[in-house]
Amino acid sequence: MLKISFISLLIISCTINSICYSQNTNKRSELPFPRLGMWWLDAWNEPPEKIARYDLLLNEFENNNDKLQAVRQINPHIKVFRPISPTETAWYTWNTQTPEPLTKILPSSFFLLKIGSVLRSPISANDTVVPLKDISDSKGVSLFHTGQTIAIGRNESARIISINVKNKTLTVKRGFIRPASKHNLGEHVAEHFSFWPKTWVMNNTYHCPREIIPGFNKPMNWLEFFFIKLTNEITPYNEYINQKELRYDGIIIDRFEDYQSWLADWSWNPEDIFPIDLYHNNQPVPVEEFDASWRNGTDILLKLLRAQYPGLPIIRNNASTVRYALYDGQVYETGGWSSPSTSWWENLFIKINTDDNYFKVGPYMDWFKNNKTKTVLIEVYEDETMPDSNLKYKKPFSDPEFIPNYQRMRFSLTSTLLGDGFYSYEANTSSHGSGGLIWFDEYDNAGQGKGYLGYPTGEYKFLPEKLYMREFDHGIVLVNPNSNVVHITLDRKYRKIKGKQNPIINDGKETSRISLNGFDGIILLK
C-alpha cells in the first residue's frame, strides 16, 4: 500500500501543481531516407550545421539551448530525445576525478548489491581491516574479490585491497567515493555490482527499500528519487512563459532492460539460485523472482514519466524485451559487426531470437509491423570493444589518417534501410558521437543531398539469390547477410553512387549486374 500511495501522490502532485511543459508540436512530415541519427555528439564544439545534418539526436541540451535553437532553425524536422540513465551512477563527475555528489549521499540500499556478510565486530572510521562473519557462501565460493568495491553499512563504500580467508577479514581502502564512518556489530557488507567502468549499478527493483534522502521529507526508493531529480533537470522553470519547459521531442532511457540477472555471470536457467541480494538479507533468490522485481520496477518509472509528460515518446536502449506496446521505440546498440554470421543478422533484424526460452529479444523489423511511427535506431560502432578501466580505447577515432570500415557501414546502413528506422555510425561505446562525426557518401549521395532515396515503395523482399532488397522512389538497397559472394542480374539498369571515399564500390557506373560480397550491402540509384 505504501508503494501505491507514494506513486499516486507523485502523479497527483504533478497535476495539482500544474507542472506542465511546452513540447515542440510542429507537425513533422515523414522524413525521406536514409534517416540518420547520432547519440552523444559534442554539442559544445560541433557547429550547428554539422549537428543539423542528422534527423534524430540523443543528446542533452539543458546547458546549451542556444545551440539547440540554432540547430532547429537549420533543420526544423530534427527530433531530439533526452537520454536518461537510471541503471547506473558514476563515481566521478564528467571528465574529472571529483567524486559525484549524488553518489555520496545515496544509501547503500539504492545500489544493486551481491550476497555478502555482516561485521563480526565494530570498526572505526579509520580502521582498514574489516572483520566479517562469513567470507564465503555455504558451498565455499568466495563472497568477496580483490579490487572490487563494497558497501559498508548505510552510507559508506570501500575498495578491497586484500583478503585473509583464514581470519575472515578484508583489508580495504576506506571512504571510496562514499565517506568513511564508524560501523557497529552486525552491519551489512557486500560487493557493489559494476557493469560499466567507474560506475555502480543501481537498484531498479520493485523491492528497493524506501529511505529518507537529505533535502527530502518523504521516504522514497531509488527510481522515485531519480524521477524527481530528473524532472527538475530537464524541465527547468522558464520565467518568460511562467511554467516549466521541456525542449525535447522524446526521452531515451539507457540500459533499461526487462532483465538484469545476466549481471551475475550466472546461468540463465530460471531454476537457478541468483546471487543478487534482492531483499538485503544476504539470501539468494531464484532468477525469475529477481527479474520480475526488476521488470516491475522499470514499469513504475515508466508510469511516472507517462504521467509527467503525457504524449511524449519514450524509447529504451538495449531492451531485452518483446513488450512493444509499452514503449514508443528502441535503440539497438549493436555489436557483432566485426564477426557477423547469418543467424546473428537474422535474429537482430528479421526474426525473434528464440534460442533462449527465457530472454527473448524482439528483432528490428517487428517494431514496424503495426506502427510505422515508432522511433527505432540501429547504432553501430567502428570500435566494438569495451573500454578499459579508465574509459580509454585502443585507437582514436579522430586520427586524420584513420580509415573507417566502409563495408561494415554499408552492411549495417542497408540492413537498417530494410525497415523504417534511423541509423547511426559512431566511434565507440564510450565516446559515441563525441569521438568524432564521420559523414559517408551513402548518407547524402556523395553531397547531392539528404533524403535522396525518397520513400519506400513497399516492404523488403527476400530474393531467390538469398539477398534482401527494398525499393525506394529513387533507388534500391541490396543486403547480403551471408558469408559467400552473391551475383545477381537485376531487371533494369541502376547507377552506383559516384563517391570519393570508396570509389572502387561507388564508381558512379550504370549496371544491371551486381556482385555483392558476403556481409555487405549496396545502394543503387534509378
Query: What's 268-300 look like in SS3?
Result: CCCCCEECECCCCCCCCEEHHHHHHHHHHHHHH
**396 has a pLDDT exceeding 80:** no
H/E segment holding residue 513: strand 510-516
- What are the residues whose beta carbons fall under 8 Å from the beta carbon of 502, sequence distance 6 or more? 406, 441
Question: pLDDT at position 20, please?
Answer: 35
What SS3 class is residue 167? coil
Q: Give the span between the Cα atoms of 461 and 181, in whole angstroms.
A: 65
CB atoms within 10 A of CB 506: 22
Please list the residues that pair with 58 across neighbouring strands: 39, 81
**pLDDT grade, residue 9 (50/70/90)?**
very low
**131 has a pLDDT exceeding 70:** yes
Angle ∠(161,163,169) on CA atoms, nearest 5:
110
Q: What would the grid cell of residue 103 be?
A: 553518489
Task: Please list, residue by residue across 420-458, b when 16 or more beta carbons sit within 10 angstroms of its beta carbon and e when fewer do.
Answer: bbbbbbbbbbbbbbbbbbbebbbbbbbeeebbbbeebee
Determine the angle formed by the axes of helices 2-16 and 287-308, rounding to 10 degrees. Answer: 20
**pLDDT grade, residue 5 (50/70/90)?**
very low
Q: Give the span between the Cα atoms of 174 and 190, in whole angstroms.
A: 14
In percent, the amount of the chain with pLDDT more than 70 equals: 85
- CA-nearest of 213, 209, 151 to 176 is 151
Q: What would the grid cell of residue 431 be?
A: 565516446
Site of grid cell 551475383: 487
Q: Give the span between the Cα atoms of 292 and 410, in whole angstroms.
A: 39
> How far, in Å, are 80, 325, 387, 523 from residue 146 at the CA level?
43, 44, 21, 52
Q: What is the 3-state secondary structure (H, E, C) of 468-495?
A: EEEEECCEEEEEECCCCCEEEEEEEEEE
Residues 436-468 pLDDT 10s: 888 999 999 999 999 999 999 999 999 999 999
DSSP letter assigned to residue 311:
T
**pLDDT grade, residue 115 (50/70/90)?**
very high
Residues 12-52 pLDDT 10s: 334 323 333 334 333 334 899 999 999 999 999 999 999 99
Question: pLDDT at position 395, please?
Answer: 53
Site of grid cell 576525478: 97
Residues 193-227 pLDDT 10s: 998 888 999 999 999 999 999 888 899 999 999 99
Maximum CA extent, the chain = 82
Q: What would the grid cell of residue 116 be?
A: 555478502
Q: What would the grid cell of residue 326 be?
A: 509499452
Task: Please list, residue by residue across 91-124, b when 16 or more beta carbons sit within 10 angstroms of its beta carbon and e when fewer do.
Answer: beeeeeeebbeebeebbbbbbbbbbbbebbeebe
